[in-house]
Copies of this chain bind each other. A is one copy, B any other.
Amino acid sequence: MGEAGTVMEHAKFEPVAEGGVTLPTGFRAGGVHCGLKKNGHNDLGAIVCDVPAAAAAVYTTNKFQAAPLLVTRDSLAQEGRLRAVLVNSGNANACTGRQGEEDARAMRAGLAQALGIPAHQVAVASTGVIGQPLNMAAIRSGIGLLTERLGDGASGLTAFNEAIMTTDLVRKLAGARVTVEGRTVTIAGVAKGAGMIHPNMATMLGFITTDAAIAPSALQELLRETADVTFNMITVDGDTSTNDMVLAMASGLAGHAELTRGHPDYPAFAAGFRYVCEELAKAIARDGEGATKLMEVLVTGAVSDASARVIARTIAGSSLVKSALFGADANWGRIIAAVGRAGEPVNTDTVDIRLGDIVTLEQSRPVPFDEEAALAYLKGDTVRIRVDLNMGPGRATAWGCDLTYEYVRINADYRT
């Protein structure tokens, strides 16, 4: 994990390779094909908790928020607790007007009825094409089948994963275990998203589950601050979707006293939570539409963390930097051009740029480097760009991917 992981290395958590949202105590998941996707893959999924879980969510900043987000907000506003989330792919239910809102409410009511729980304990999410009415008959019949197929093992998880994927090539899972009051607490997450991805909740869905005991307000605060340094630091193509959200649910079944900022084990929990979010965020960037590699951009020496964030995201989002990465071209000129147009304070005489361990610019002066070594490094599946502005204590990490022929191919005929 390199530099980006330093914050986490100070707090104790154990990564869980086989992480999945059914891992924490109290959660089941499942998925079915109800008819929204033409390819026959699962397109309707749910995560269900045995008890009302403390819940929190962050949403897209796009002004056109899709109907399911409005309905999920409404659910969370009631008591901040959820028993379930219902997700469909194949149709975003966005820009669908009043009918779209009614459909999202009907999805919520349908799952609530099938599970015998109050409607406000259900969240809904959708992803897919914008502006087309949902096939509600398909969803209604799917809900019946789905509730029969919920499972807490690998099969439920696999079925759910397939149900939330659109152009994703790989499933994105992460998990961590931490110790709270001597008990094992598990945190796990799944995510989808490969295109229309940009800081501020762009076409991605993330679902985090944990058996930790934590109040909804504390979970909301943790999710917001964690999303800012993980999900909101990835960019695939600069586009921000109408539908994205990350939802966290905490069952409390680990049985310890409620976590607050003052709890001695809060730092470990927060570190595990951040690890899960960061792994999911990086998985989304690496699986960016058409991507062949993950780009990690670390900016240090900025005047503030906020300034470092803007610069890191500008570099990670630059079409020219992304194209150069695809071509394994050590074109640091494009990196410094991105630094210069980010609109943040920069001393044009003190910038250092490194590609991996290869120094290409020092105090804004080009440093001769071994082109062969740089080519070999850039051909790898992870490229770390490090920019030190040498001005202040601000630092941030952003993640992106290369821009490839395949990105263009996917997006030139997505809808047809």
- Please report A residues at the B interface, Cβ cutoff 8 Å: 61-64, 92, 94-97, 129-132, 195-196, 198, 200, 202, 237-242, 317-320, 323-324, 326-327, 329-334, 336-341, 346, 348, 361, 364-366, 403-405, 407-416
Contact = CB atoms under 8 A, between A and B. Distances in A.
Contacts of A239: 318-320, 334, 337-338, 341
Nearest to A95: B336
Contacts of A334: 130, 196, 239
Select the residue from A333, A334, A336 with max chain B CB neighbours within 10 A.
A333
A64 to B, nearest CB: 4
A335 B123 CA distance: 27
Nearest to A62: B340
Given A64-B336, A95-B333, A333-B129, A341 B412 contact: no
A341 B411 contact: no
Given A94-B337, A238-B319, A239-B319, 5 more contacts: A62-B340, A95-B361, A131-B336, A327-B416, A403-B408
Contacts of A408: 323, 326, 403-405, 407-408
Contacts of A410: 323
11 contacts: A97-B365, A130-B337, A240-B341, A324-B411, A324-B414, A327-B413, A329-B412, A329-B414, A329-B416, A403-B408, A404-B408
